[in-house]
Amino acid sequence: MKLTSKGRYAVMAMADLAKNEDSRPVSLKEISLRQGISIFYLEQLFLKLKLNSLVHSTRGSRGGYVLSNSPDQIKLSSIISAVNEEVETIKCNKNSKKGCNGKFAKCITHSLWNELSTHINLFFERKSLEDVLRKEKNFQGE
């Protein structure tokens, strides 16, 4: 599980889509303007979101993207893992020369990291895009 701004942008973009899709597809240009994210960057993100079937695209003039499901069906975990290809936590045994190579502490941190990964995933599993929108609404209402 990686947590970078890429994931954050993806959530932002998806939230924008959820809020603004309304019969017509939403173009990247619109999202770019509203969210202040470079259109080039969005292209990158939506390529992956599409590969993971989170959005559906319409090409050509007046084309754009729509969500594949209703916001309450889209878990944040799907979004995050769609854009961050490596979903797993940082592997210990990537290079076996250093650190975790069978010595004492090997599996201490290993299982710890795995537990943490589970813990974080749980967080994102529980949240849907709808939850995010609802929160924003409440916030603006105050």
Partner DNA sequence: TCTAAAGTTGACTAATTTACTCAGGATACT
Partner DNA sequence: AGTATCCTGAGTAAATTAGTCAACTTTAGA
Alpha carbon distance 4, 49 (integer Å): 16
Decide: 56 and 66 in contact? Cβ < 8 Å.
yes
Alpha carbon distance 2, 88 (integer Å): 8
Alpha carbon distance 68, 5 (integer Å): 23
Query: Among residue numbers 23 through 42, which ones bind a copy of itself (CB under 8 A)?
Result: 34-38
Among 60, 62, 104, 141, binds a copy of itself (CB under 8 A): 104
Distance of closest approach, residue 26 Cβ to DNA, in angstroms: 7
Q: Residue 24: name its binding partner from ligand FES, DNA, a copy of itself, none (Cβ under 5 to 8 Å by kind).
A: none
Per-residue binder mask for DNA (CB under 7 A), 48-87, x = binder: --x------xxxxxxxxx----------------------
Among 1, 11, 13, 28, binds DNA (CB under 7 A): 28
| Beta-carbon count within 10 A of 109 CB | 13
